[in-house]
């Protein structure tokens, strides 16, 4: 049985945190319901909830078709999916080899990868632009996928090396005694055990790449990038365009469209994500 003052202070703490939570959530809810309002009402009657009879679903229709969000969405799914898959696959192999096998150069290579965690994206961008131009990969999906993959590898290797290092040695030995080759041992025995690490890497890379803007802006700027432009880029263009056409309903619908996939991933995998952030901190 708690004393009344303690109960009051508990209630106060709860109220304070709830207030903060409301402040965090309300702007998002506001955007979500405003995206169903008419263009005029969004800023003229700021708090008003759209009347159920007059929901402006055409904001979404316009964003999806007219503002080409259908294409952007498809490109984003493709580019993010391919990049994440490549990062996880290549990162796992490299992390495994570097963490559990000795090579005179292994340490140096490992540290080179880790140095990538500290390189600002801006450092490489200027030469990268011309390099991709030379390869004919500017304004293309493949170019962006390769750039995202290369930039995601340091984080993947950093996390996965930790996971592989924690696996017992006996497993590998048993696999080798059973006649497994190096690759089979990795693929059949060790990789499945590192699954939590793989999921962590995949989640964080997905979230990072899905909302990536800087590289996309710099490398997909040309008008031939029609077939590659991603959602963040489309959304930013829409935001600038709304300065000229002032179609805020469409812009709000666009913000919601970009948010929903992250929201789904987050809600489904929240435990994993919260744990991942916490674990990353303790290791870092």
Taking CB under 8 A as the criterion, the residue among 36, 63, 79, 147 binding another protein is 147
Contact pick of 8, 174, 264, 278 for another protein (by CB under 8 A): 278
For residue 180, state whether it binds another protein (rule: CB under 8 A): no
Give the one residue of 38, 50, 106, 162 binding another protein; rule: CB under 8 A: 106
Length of the chain as a residue count: 284
Residue 8 binds another protein, judged by CB under 8 A = no
Does 282 help bind another protein (rule: CB under 8 A)? yes
Contact between 184 and another protein per CB under 8 A: no
Task: Please report how the helices 69-100 and 106-115 are oriented relative to each other, as an axis angle in degrees rounded to 10.
Answer: 150
Q: Rule CB under 8 A: is residue 82 a binding residue for another protein?
A: no
Site string for another protein, 213-232 (x = CB under 8 A): xx--xx--xxxx-------x
Site membership for another protein, residue 84 (CB under 8 A)? no
Give the interface segment with another protein, choosing from 49-57, 70-78, 90-98, 193-201 (CB under 8 A).
90-98
Q: Least distance (Å) from another protein to the CB of residue 86? A: 8
CB of 78 to another protein, least distance (A): 18
Longest distance between any two alpha carbons in the chain, whole Å: 74
d(CA 152, CA 84): 8
Taking CA atoms, 204 is separated from 87, 120, 141, in Å, by: 11, 18, 21
* Residue span binding another protein (CB under 8 A) among the ranges 53-61, 66-74, 150-158, 193-201: 150-158
Placement of tokens 């490109």 in the chain: 75
- Residue by residue, DSSP assigns 83-100 as HHHHHHHHHHHHHHHHHH
Residue with tokens 């030379």: 134
* CB of 185 vs another protein, minimal distance in Å: 9
Does the footprint of another protein cover residue 77 (CB under 8 A)?
no
Q: Nearest CA to 280 among 126, 142, 171, 159?
A: 159
Please give the residues from 109 up to 128 whose contact with another protein meets the rule CB under 8 A: 109-113, 116, 118-128
Task: Report, in Å, the least distance between residue 82 CB and another protein.
Answer: 13
Cα end-to-end span (Å), the chain = 41
Calculate the CA dihedral of residues 124, 72, 212, 156 and round it to 10 degrees.
-90
Which of 194, 235, 250, 253 is the binder for another protein (CB under 8 A)? Answer: 235
The torsion angles phi and psi of 155, rounded to 5 degrees, stand at: -65, -45
Residue-wise DSSP of 45-59: SSSPPPPGGG--THH
The minimum distance between CB 47 and another protein, in angstroms, equals 6
User: To the nearest whole angstrom, how small is the minimum distance from the Cβ of residue 235 to another protein?
Assistant: 5
Does residue 42 belong to the site contacting another protein (CB under 8 A)?
yes
243 binds another protein (CB under 8 A): yes
CA pair distance 199, 29, nearest whole angstrom:
29
Q: What is the DSSP letter of 64?
A: I
């Amino acid at each position: 049985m708690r004393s009344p003052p303690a109960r009051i202070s508990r209630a106060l703490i709860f109220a304070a945190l709830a207030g903060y939570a409301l402040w965090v959530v309300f702007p998002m809810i506001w955007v979500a319901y405003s995206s169903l309002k008419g263009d005029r009402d969004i800023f003229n009657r700021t708090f008003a909830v759209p009347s159920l009879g007059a929901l402006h679903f055409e904001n979404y229709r316009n964003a999806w078709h007219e503002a080409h969000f259908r294409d952007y969405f498809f490109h984003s799914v493709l580019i993010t999916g391919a990049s994440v898959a490549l990062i996880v696959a290549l990162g796992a192999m490299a992390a495994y080899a570097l963490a559990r096998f000795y090579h005179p150069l292994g340490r140096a290579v490992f540290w080179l990868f880790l140095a990538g965690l500290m390189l600002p994206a801006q450092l490489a961008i200027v030469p990268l632009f011309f390099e991709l131009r030379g390869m004919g990969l500017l304004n293309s999906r493949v170019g962006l996928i390769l750039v995202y993959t290369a930039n995601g590898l340091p984080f993947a290797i950093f996390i996965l090396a930790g996971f592989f290092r924690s696996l017992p040695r006996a497993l590998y030995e048993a696999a080798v005694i059973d006649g497994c080759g190096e690759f089979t041992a990795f693929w059949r025995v060790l990789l499945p055990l590192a699954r939590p690490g793989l999921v962590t890497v995949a989640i964080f890379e997905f979230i990072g790449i899905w909302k990536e803007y800087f590289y996309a802006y710099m490398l997909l700027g040309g008008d031939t990038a029609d077939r590659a432009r991603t959602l963040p880029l489309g959304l930013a263009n829409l935001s600038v365009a709304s300065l000229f056409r002032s179609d805020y309903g469409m812009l709000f619908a666009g913000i919601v469209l970009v948010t929903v996939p992250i929201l789904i991933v987050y809600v489904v995998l929240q435990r994993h994500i919260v744990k991942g952030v916490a674990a990353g901190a303790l290791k870092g």
